[in-house]
Every structure is written in C-alpha cells, then in structure tokens.
Structure 1
Amino acid sequence: MTRVPSDADADVLVIGGGIIGLAVAWRTAQRGLRTVVVDPSPGGGAAKVAAGMLAPVTELQYGEEPLLRLGLASNQRYEAFAAELSEASGGRDTGYRQCGTVAVALDSDDREELRELHAFHRRLGLDSTWLTGREARRLEPMLAPGVRGGLHVADDHQVDGRRLLTALRAAAEHAGVAVRPAEAVELLVEGGRAVGARLSTDGTVTAGQVVLAAGPHSHRLAGLPEGVLPAIRPVKGQVLRLRIPDAYRPFLSRNVRAVVRGQHIYLVPRENGELVIGATTEEQGYDTTVTAGGVYELLRDAHELVPGITELPLLETSAGLRPGSPDNAPLLGPTSLPGLVAATGHYRNGVLLTPVTADLVSEYLATGELPALAQPFTPTRFSSDRSTAKALA
C-alpha cells in the first residue's frame, strides 16, 4: 500500500462521480481508506441514461474472451452486490432483476449470424439455448410474427442505472466518502507522481493515490502527462423510455434484443412498468442532442421487433456518452504515472462491470497488488517504453 503524506487531504482521490467512480470510492472507503470524490454533478454520467442490461453473453463479440471473463465475473457478483448496496444505502432499491435475455433474428441472414454466435457460445461453454421462431414467441408473445429464431440466455439480467447511482452515492457517503460537487480542472503532479487535483472552486485536494474515473473526459484532464492515458472517445447513445399501462401487462418478461438493418437494438422491461429502448451508436464527439432521426430509428426498429410498442406512451428521450477506449475494453489499474490509477473506458459495459471494477481497483488501492482478472486491462497496454519515458521526462 502506498505511504500517504501526513499532510494529504485523503488516502484516495477519485476524479469522477459516475457509477464507476462512486462504486470504487464506496469499496475503497470500506477498506478503511480516507476517500474523496470530486465531480461537478455527482451521480450523473452515462449510467443515468443507460438501460442497465447485464448481458455479458449476448453482448459478446468475437475475440473478446478476456472481456467476457471480466463480464461474467461481474455478473456473478451482482446479486450480492445489489443486496449489500441496498442495505448500505438505507434500503434503496437498485432495480436488480434476474430476468434473462432473448436475442432474436428477423430474417434469414440474421438467423445465420445468431446460429454462428450460438455455436461460439457453446464452444466457450456458455449457457445459451437455441430457439425456433415459435419457441421465441412462446417465451415472449409480443414478438413480431416474422421472428425467424433466436437465443435464450437465462443468466443475462438487468439493473436500473438511475436507482443504482442513487444507492451508490448514499452508501458511499454513509461509508465516509466525502463527495465534493466540483470539477477537477488540473491534475497535480510533484516529483513525477500524481498527488491530487486542483478544483474549479479554487481549492485543491491532495491524496496518496488518484483514481481517474471521469468517463469520456478522463484523458482531457489538464496536467495529465502525454502518453499516460490513451484518448477515451465519447460514443453517443440515444435512449427512449416508454410506459407500459397496467392493461398491457405483462408486455415483455425478459430483455429482448436483435439486429435490425445492421443496427443493434434492445428493449428492457422494468418491473415498475417502464420500457427502455436503446440505443443508437454515434461517433459524434461530445454532442448529447436528442435527434428526430435517432428517435425515429429506435421506434422504427423496435416496432419491427415488437409491433405493440406503438400503443405505449412515450415518457422520455435522452442521450448519453459511453467512454470508449481504443480497443473498447476498460482501463483498470495503475498507469505509467506513479500514483495515478485508471478506472475508465468501459464503453457499452459500464453498468455491467461496476461490481468487478470496484472490487479490483479497490484491491489495488489497498494492497498495491493488481488482481489477475484486471491484468489484461491495464492502461499501459497502449504505451511503449519509449512513449512512457518521454511522457514522464
């Protein structure tokens, strides 16, 4: 464990108060470390928009086996994590629900792609069941008659990102985390080591270790030496929220997803009657404008999948920014700058990877040892010895 200067404000400073930053701070404080979180809007970020699918299997892409292992490990921790968080936050509900996912195909090409994915699942020993179109509609009667087949993954679940954020902030503060509603405008570096941050409120916070968990803004922090962190690009996602009236329930019992015209779409039914439809994937920089085109595409594709959605009231449209790393996998653990630890770049899997990220990063902060599960995701995988030496010179 790093020796903290006696005059430091905290043992650990977490820059970023979204779902990842708050979870890391909570777990770190539970280990007895004095922890401060700084964020201009604590409890915000992409998770406030996200649908909250916990889908390590149906999100799997070829060549992502290390990320799959990380996602499965996090998914396996979620039930206990949600229960502990609910108790630690004074009984707040996180919306965690074990419901499973049905992924379906609407044409023969999509069906063949799903067949290949199912075979890939089986080779990896994953619990994934092939469904005929009739079997898929038997599980979810609201699916379109033209569904050609699909997969049932019983262990893909869901959580409510907004409720999770509220519970995490309450639990963190109850554990002694100081949450400062301010922006970290500059990383403080002394003697080649990160020692804290200067804040927008003109103050500073000094700490023995600094965790960078600012999502797509992580690499933009002033004072961060060049080459220490790769660029984290913002990937815009537009999401719709509809209401399922009592007369229409049960509308869907499970998460439902598909590829329609090459675009991924999912529908996540909440127990409170909300139906979340998402999400677009747009490389549009830091723009979070909800567009007519984005709303139209989501409704159009969702209607092809579940025609009955046109009868549901539209409650909300929103857009958020996913933090995407160069290889779309998270950055976890120590950077090449001593004292600076990364917990960012989770892309589409931020909500899913929250429990495991909090456990792995807090373990490193407390012991100085990075668990094996996190080692494929260290930030230094993007830097050469030469670039690191130059950045720290």
Structure 2
Amino acid sequence: MELDVAGGYASPNDRTYPTQLANDEIQRWFAGNGDDLTVHIRNENTRDSGWLSMVPYFLTLGILPSWLNTEGETVMEVKAGDEVLFANREDVAYKSALSMLLPTAYLVGSPGKQQYEIMAHDQLNRHKHALQAFITSQQAGYETAVSDGTVEAYRQYLQANPDSFFRMETLRRLSELAPEKQALAFHRDNIAIDNTYIVYLPDEYDIWFLGPANMKVYDVLRLSSAEDDVLLASRIRAANQPYKVFSSDEIALLKEGGLSSALIAAMIDASANTAPSSPVPDGVSSAAVDSETTEASAAVAQPGAADIAGQCAKRYAALKACDQVPSFGANVCRSQVKKKYSHMACELIQ
C-alpha cells in the first residue's frame, strides 16, 4: 500500500497513517489469508496548489496560515502474480495547512490524523464497492450460463470460458455430479476437457497417479492401448519401481479403468520387490491377480508410505496441471491443491 500524503505539511507519522489504515482494512475484505492475490493501492498524478500562501504566512510570522490543496487519483489493482485482474481509479483531494503561532490553520484545514482517516476510508470504500460490483457482474453471467445445473452446462461453460474467474468453482460443482457407481468414465471425460479437474477427483482415484515418472498408472493405461500387455508388464517388472500392493477395491477400480490383470500384477510384483520392510503375502503374481483370494491377501499389506506417496503424486500432478491454467485461475487452482493435499511429506518432497 502507498497511500502516503503526497504533499502538505504533515509529520512523517501522519503521512504514513493512511497506509496503515489501508493495510488493516483490506485484510478484512477476504475470507482468509493467502498469497494467491495481492492488492496494490497508490496515489498518482498528485499536484499541489497554494504555495503563494507562504508569503503572508512569513510576513505575519505564522499568524496567517499557509495551506496547500492537493488533488490526484488513488489507484487500486488486484493482481495474481504480475497480472492485473482488476483495476480501479478514484479522484482524491484534500487540504493541509500550517500555522506557527496561532491555531488559525484549523479554519482552513482539519486535524491531521482525523482528516487522513476520513480520506483513507473514503478511498477504500469506493475501491471496495467497485471490486464488489465487478465480481457481482462476473458471477451473474456465470450463474446464468450454468443455470441448468447439468453436466453438459458446466462442460460447455468450461470449453467456452477457459480463463473464467469461476473456472475452479465450475470444476468443483461438476465433480459433485459424478455418478455413485462406475464413475471413472465421467471423471476421465472431465479431465479431457480440463486437466485441472484432477484437483477434485475423489481420494480413491489417487492410485492412478502412483508409480515412477512416465510410467505412472495412468501412463501404463495409455501405453496399453498400443503395446502388448505381456511386454509392458515385463518393462514394469524390469524397472523395479514401486507402485502399491493394491487392495481388492483398488484392483477393481483399476480394472474398471481398463487395466488388465497382467499389468496390475506386474505393478504389485514391482512394489513387493522394492519394499522388503513391508511383508507381501505369498502368491501375489500375474496368475493370482484374478483370484479373489489373492486380492484379499494383497489388501493386508497396505504400507502407510504408499498411501502418502499416492497423495503426493496426485498433488504433484495437480500442481503441474495448474501451470496450464491461464490468468487468475492458476492461482486459485494452486490454492485448492495445497489445501486438499497438505501432508507435510508432500511439502518437503515438492
């Protein structure tokens, strides 16, 4: 904030007083603290008049006051990084006076801090109302566009407004419309429209982000459409990089997504080979994945580190997706990701 008094006879403390007021006031504009947005306020185009009043001031030894009329503009900008999302200008004018011997300055001006407080709050209120009007107008158009509340309405809005102020809100609402069963296809279609949607995937889909770079579960699914499953399974085992000893429910979810038993078994084998401290049930192999008995046994070994790894992997993928979001949406996206995936280990790793 830079709301210092541009001219006049104020003391240094009085000149910075409006800045202190602005900092305190603007903190109350937002629902919580964060670093996604910054608010900048400054005075511009300030000019003083009334310097000739110094002549009678000196001639009367300070009995007659000297005064200055200051006019200019106060400018507020709301930024995401270096990008200005909203800007507003308001006219500002005030008078300051000086009298050495008698309090005749009060006949021309007003007591310093009291007047500066009035001035600062007046400017801030005008800026706040302008910002509220801007957000309200944006929201009105958004609510009209998605008034049907259908999946198709939200998807069309995302495609037509890729840099919308309400992009993340649209994705959140869309995620709430997921069917209770067989929802993977629904989520995959949404990700195809906007990668940032992974922020709102249910936690059980974290497993799709497990695995080494370029061979995560979702990479394996993509590769399986063009590569023989037996060869791909051999590559997974040869890489000897961990995924997870999947539970019965997770195996069912992977199969629902299109992964074959051979590929799931290869991931389990690779995880077992790289996690000697976590005992893996005997018989977990390619042939055993199809049996319900072995699936239940595999569910017994659920290392907590693997669960955390799934969260961190999904967090990393989500943050990378946020980088592709234009304008303000990227900052909102990162905020949502960090809020949802706040595990200390993820913060340290990434």
Same fold (TM over 0.5): no
Q: Indicate the TM-score class for this superposition, using the shorter chain for normalisation.
A: under 0.3
Higher RCO, Cα 8 Å, sep 6+: 1
Normalised to the residue count of structure 2, the TM-score between the two structures is: 0.24
Normalised to the residue count of structure 1, the TM-score between the two structures is: 0.22
The structure in which a higher percent of residues are strand is 1
The structure in which a higher percent of residues are helix is 2
